Structure 1
Amino acid sequence: MNLGRQTTLRNPAILSGFGVHSNAAVTIILHPAEADTGIVFRRTGLPGHAAREIAAHWSRVTMTELCTMIGDNTRASIATIEHLLAAFLGLGIDNVLVEIDGPEVPIMDGSAARFVDLIDDAGIETLSAPCRYIKVIKPVRVESGQAFCELRPTEGARATGLRLDVDIDFASSVIGQQRKTVDLAPTIFRRELARARTFGFLADVERLWKAGFALGASLENTVALQSDRVLNPEGLRYADEFVRHKILDAVGDLALAGRRIIGLFRSHCGGHRMNVAVLRALFSDPSAFEYVDALPVRPVAAHPVATGVVLSA
């Protein structure tokens, strides 16, 4: 990844599958895009309507229950965008047009691995335009009961990337308490995060079906838990696959900032709703961030500083 210049795909790439919630068949085509385009979805296949473009941006989020959805529920929307967006941000892809003919990004195996393969097949093109980052300069925080998400500054002139520090706490002994910290970079994303799958409890399935969720969920795309055991015959891909997937989701949601972030993301028992809420908190306070030109150095460990805004999620 070139930290100083924007990127796009070298060639188009195509992938088909079905949505984990809608169970609808869908095809996506990734197209190269010009500098400063960002990530934009073009929703096709709308009955009686022309294609509609929806920017992958926090201001376009319409739902955060069990997945992240953008668009307009009365005209066009796209759900479960987080794993694809995580692959873009994790691999340092700034500009892509995602053509999609259904209401939901395909779930594939429940991780971002197939999207990484798709990007690798397309190749990455470095553009002449420079990158601009969003640098967090004052902490912002959202809370919901004991859960919280926050974005904080990182110290030092060499702090030029995004660090994610995430912990979860489930009553199930299969999950329990897990915590992991990563500095986001393509090699780390590929090795530590991309293959971590979504997960759910069998006891929740009937309720989710009645609510219109998880209609396409199976052992092929979800780590299924029953009481204190994993039902998937192959078991887990990582001993702490659950917290790794939570980080993967956070990376995808933070991609909705529209630019790469310089700062520390900290989450305790968070999720899509709080991930998006902390972006809203950041951008609601112009004194909490600034736009900076990219610096071609690697991120280093940093420590939280100062005090800042606290909002309710």
Structure 2
Amino acid sequence: MFDEPANDLRAAATVRGTVRLVGVGLHTGEDCELIIEPVPAGQGIRFIRSDLEGPMAQRTIAADPALVTKTQLGTVLTNAHGASISTVEHLMAAFAMLGITEADVFIDGPEIPILDGSSKNFLEAIEKVGVRVYPHTIEPIAPKGEVTVAQGDSWAIAEPLPEGSGAEVILDVTIDFDHPSIGLQRIIIEGDRETILKEVAEARTFTELRHVEALREIGLARGGSLENAIVLNDEGVMNEGGIRMEREFVRHKALDLVGDLYLLGAPLGCKITAHKPGHTLNTALANALAADERESFAREPMVATA
């Protein structure tokens, strides 16, 4: 069930009821329960570690790009008290695609469950309880000029939508992997958040089998399996049934980009071009956009009132 207008790009929204999900952490390998609760407009999205002791304020981590502390194979947020939550990007992407701007996410471990490796299960669970739209507006992320970040041969640009474009957002994402099953892939998504949902929501995370043991030796990918990731060997995709959709690999990178940028707490109202993106680049762009927003606000003239 969705309140009207469920597709209003600028409307603040929360879940209509409690959402519960159980799964395993991709990197920790630990079972965990996630509970999403509705909250009033204006609070934003918060992660609350229910497994930790102490005052709730010390166990609460805001969805904020300024709190990103690690980006190796997932986005990790850490508050001033040292409480952290990892692998937030697929849930954040689900929130972005449904327009949810307000929620408390209670989690009894250090990592959001990976579920099937995409945003599909998060979306299904939230859609079962519905979305409540508030009579409050959220201004979209709409830079007045180019905002650019680069790291090595990876780069990303956020810029105003082309003049006359009827789209609310444009994503142009390119990846290039040295594996015959991936190679050079590009996707351009032009439309609104529902367009993004249709194009990327079910695209799964992926890795190469030759990397798995090395990752586990450094404490990563301990919960990874063919049930929650696309795994590639020298011959190709190991998963029964292969890939779910054409160019699933670049679609997943676009999904990660959407989730990482939603740490800004607002929908995108611009064009994003990303070449070989990853969580480090994505969150750097989020912080650059936040800085641009602050600078634009500071430059706006004060209006005198009588």
TM, length-normalised to structure 1:
0.87
Partner residue of 1:112 out of 96, 116, 119: 119
Aligned-CA RMSD value: 1.9
Other-structure match for 2:43: 37
The answer (yes or no) to whether the contact 1:154–1:263 under 8 Å persists in 2 is yes
1:150 partnered with 2:176: no
**Contact 1:111 1:196 (8 Å CA) reproduced:** yes
In structure 2, what is the equivalent of residue 192 of structure 1? Answer: 199
Does 2:145 match 1:138? yes
Write the distance in 2 (CA, Å) between the matches of 1:287 and 1:107.
Answer: 34
Match of 1:267 in 2: 274
Q: Which moved more, 1:143-152 or 1:57-66?
A: 143-152
**Per-residue deviation, 1:289:** 5.2
> Which residue of 1 is the match for residue 54 of structure 2?
49
CA distance in 1, matches of 2:169, 2:295: 16
- Per-residue deviation at 1:25? 1.1
Larger relative helix fraction: 2
Instruction: Give the 3 Å change call, closer, same or farther, for CA 284–35 of structure 1 in structure 2.
Output: same
What amino acid is the match of 1:183?
E
Which of 4, 23, 28 in structure 1 is aligned with 2:29? 23
Residue 11 of structure 2: aligned partner: 5
- 1:222-237 aligned within 5 A: 222-237=229-244
Between 255-264 and 172-181, the greater mean CA deviation after superposition: 255-264
Shift of 1:263: 0.8
Deviation at residue 40 of structure 1 after TM alignment = 1.0
Give distance in 1, aligned partners of 2:228 and 2:246. 18
Where do residues 75-86 of structure 1 align in structure 2 (5 Å cutoff)? Answer: 75-86=82-93
State the Cα distance separating 1:93 from its structure 2 match.
Answer: 1.1
Displacement of 1:3 in angstroms is 2.8
With CA pairs under 8 Å and 6+ residues apart, which has the higher RCO, 1 or 2? Answer: 1
Offset of residue 201 of structure 1: 0.4
Residue identity opposite 1:28 in structure 2? L
Q: 2:216 aligns to what SS in structure 1?
A: helix
Distance 1:117 1:288, change over 3 A: same
**Aligned counterparts of 2:82 and 2:241: Cα–Cα separation in 1:** 41
- Residue identity in the other structure for 2:162: E
Change (3 A) 1:188 1:286: closer
**CA offset at residue 259 of structure 1?**
1.4
Cα shift readout 1:233-277 (whole Å, capped 9, x = no counterpart): 121001200000000000000101121221111111110000111
> Which amino acid letter does the alignment assign opposite residue 11 of structure 2?
R
What letter matches 2:120 in structure 1? A
Residue type of the partner of 2:34?
I
* Cα-to-partner distance string for 1:58-105 (whole Å, 9 max, x where unaligned): 011111110001114963110000000000001111111111111000
SS at match of 2:214: helix
Superimposed CA distance per residue, residues 129-187 of structure 1 (whole angstroms, 9 cap, x where no aligned partner): 12222211111111122211111111337667221110001111100110001136343
Q: Which runs of 5+ in 1 are unaligned?
A: 292-313
Who is 1:300 aligned against?
none
* TM-score, structure 2 normalization: 0.89
CA distance in 2, matches of 1:151, 1:272: 16
1:307 maps to which residue? none
Partner SS for 1:195:
coil
Distance 1:160 1:186, change over 3 A: closer
1:299: which partner in 2?
none
Name the CA shift for 1:160/1:230 in 2 (closer, same or farther; >3 Å).
Answer: closer
Instruction: State the shift of 1:210 in Å.
Output: 0.9
Matched residue, 1:306: none
**Percent of residue pairs bearing the same amino acid type:** 38
Residues 18 and 86 of structure 1: is their aligned pair in 2 closer, same or farther, counting only changes over 3 Å?
same
